[in-house]
Every structure is written in structure tokens, then in C-alpha cells.
Amino acid sequence: MKKYSVRPARIGDLDIVHEIIAKQNAVDYGSAMTTVDDLRQKWESLNLEDDTCMAYVDHEPAGYAEVTEGDSLYIYLADRNNVDLAFELLTILEGKVAARKKDKVNLFTRISEKNNTLLQLFASRGYHSDLSFLIMETTLAEPPPAPLWADGITMRAFVRDQDEQATYRADEEAAEDKGYHDPLSYEGWVKRMRMDQESFDPSLWFLACDGNEIAGAVLNLYAKESDTGWVDHLSVRRAWRQRGIGKALLLYSLGEFYKRGVRKIKLSVDSKSLTNAPRLYESAGMKTIQQYHIYRKEME
């Protein structure tokens, strides 16, 4: 077994860590999924000394691991088959959480179907998965069909400094039917939706309204590093379902991305969605390209 040198990450490691993360994500998810600026902003919310660790072998960077909000653990390996290092990093992360918690904690991680090293490691350490997500994609060779809006429903763009609270309430209400949903405070929702980051683009958020009520919303983002549009959240409130609003919001989003010259569009959806969302997305031409799993473990 190789000897690894492990220490907390430092701000000077930013580019090295981003390279390790981007390389692993490119194989696992098809793109880097983050930029150097995204990572820098993330590190601003972490205590690098307590929440991160860098691993080296023969002075060469071999891996990075972190504990983020909600006791979420993430491991990135320069060599994705390095089982020994993955085991060591997970042991360190669990120790970090245990050292600062007095009560039981629920550990969480997200692992790509393609990452056998991490899938096997977390399973062997007592983590269980009962939730999986599909990554679906479409490439637009021509403009998508025009959306058909139900009677009484109008679409408008999200207005910053006006629609935040109403959109938050509508999105959270619609999310209650997701078996995995953990209710978010407004502040938590803002962070989850990256509204506090420079990359946030409110012009990609659209609201389906019934009078003054938000019936549904589609909250999109653009990943510049991979030239990909993401349908990040698409939600329709219960009272307005079964009226084609979800598909109309999706088609409208695809059309807006097409106008902006973005041809590759992706989204992530619960594989066992109670509202059968995968079928909706398939009807708009999207196909499953990858899958990832959520693993959890209760630790005393």
C-alpha cells in the first residue's frame, strides 16, 4: 500500500483541486460540472482546515475530499481506481464529522453509476441507496415545437427583486411530492439555486401564471464551461397539474436555449418520480445518458 501525505486544502490548491474534480466529473457526468470560480465561492463557505483534505503521493496530488453543508461527503481521485486512497479519505471525512457532532448524524453522498470505486467503497462502509437520478439530454438540431399553454395560463420571465419569495413558495410546494425532498428555508433555497453566485442568470427563469398566482416554474442555468443548458428545476403546483403546463415550460426553455445558440440541454430527474417526470421529458425528445445514486448512512 502506498504512503499518502494528507493535509487540509489551501487556497493555493484551488487550480489543482478543480482539475481533479473536473476530470472525475467529466467521466462520471459528461462535463466538469463546476468552474474554478464556482469552487472558489464554495470554499468561501467552508472552513478549509476542518472541512477539506488533500492527498499527495511522492509530492504529486492524488486526491481531494470535503465535507459540505448537511454532512455531505465528496471524494475525488486523480486515479479513479485508487481504492486504498478512497478508503483513507472516507475514513478521514467520517472522523471530521464525528469529532464535531454530539448526536447522530446522517451522512450523505452522490455517486455516479460509472464510478465503481466509490460505489463499492460506500456500500462496504454501511451506506445504503434507495434513491437514484437519471441525467437526460437532448441536442437541438432545429427549434423545438412551440409550447401549448392551457387556458388561463400565461408565461412570463422571472423578475429579480420582485418574484423571489413567490417563486420560492411555489417551488417548495411543488417539491413536497418528491419523496426525497428536504424542506428548505428561503435562505437555503437561495443558496441551492445559486442565486448568490455571479453565474446566476435570472433571464433563464420562467413562470407559468394563472392570474397573479404562480402555477409552475422552470428555473434554468447555463454551464459555460461545457456550453450546456440545464433545466435545473421544473415544478408545477398540485392544483395546476395534468394540464400540460410542465411540458409547455420545458418546450419554452428549450426554445429559449436554442435562440441563445445553446444546442445541448440536460436535466436530472428522480428515476422513480411520483409524477412520472421521465416520461414527460422523453416526450420532448430527451434521452437518458447517465445515472447517479444517493447514498446515506446514520452515524452515532
pLDDT recorded at residue 38: 87
Residue pair 24/82 in contact (Cβ under 8 Å)? The answer is: no
Q: Which three cell numbers stand for residue 296?
A: 446515506
pLDDT over 90 at 273, yes or no: no
Distances (CA, A) of 220 to 19, 40, 42, 189, 266: 25, 22, 20, 14, 10
Cα–Cα distance measured from residue 76 to residue 54, given in angstroms and rounded to the nearest whole number: 10
Within the chain, residue ranges assigned H as helices are: 14-29, 36-44, 48-51, 83-100, 116-124, 164-175, 186-192, 245-259, 277-283
Residue pair 215/150 in contact (Cβ under 8 Å)? The answer is: no
Confidence band, pLDDT 50/70/90 cuts, at residue 256: very high
Amino acid letter at 200? F
Confidence band, pLDDT 50/70/90 cuts, at residue 197: confident
Q: Which three cell numbers stand for residue 168?
A: 420560492
Superfamily for the 136-293 domain: Gcn5-related N-acetyltransferase (GNAT) (3.40.630.30)
What is the value of pTM for the model shown? 0.86
Residues 6+ apart with CB under 8 A from 181: 175
Q: Which three cell numbers stand for residue 171?
A: 417551488
Residues of the chain with CATH 3.40.630.30: 5-126, 136-293
pLDDT over 90 at 1, yes or no: no
pLDDT over 70 at 180, yes or no: no
Residue pair 265/258 in contact (Cβ under 8 Å)? The answer is: no
- DSSP codes of every residue in 270-296: ETT-TT-HHHHHHHTT-EEEEEEEEEE
CB hemisphere CA count around 17 (13 angstroms): 25
DSSP helix/strand/coil, 75: strand
Fold held by 5-126: Aminopeptidase (3.40.630)
Cα–Cα distance measured from residue 195 to residue 201, given in angstroms and rounded to the nearest whole number: 8
Amino acid letter at 30? G
Query: What number is the average pLDDT over the span 63-78?
Result: 94
pLDDT recorded at residue 60: 94
Arithmetic mean of pLDDT over the chain: 93
Residue pair 163/293 in contact (Cβ under 8 Å)? The answer is: no
The 10 Å Cβ neighbour count of residue 5 is: 11
Return the C-alpha torsion angle 170, 222, 31, 259, nearest 10.
120
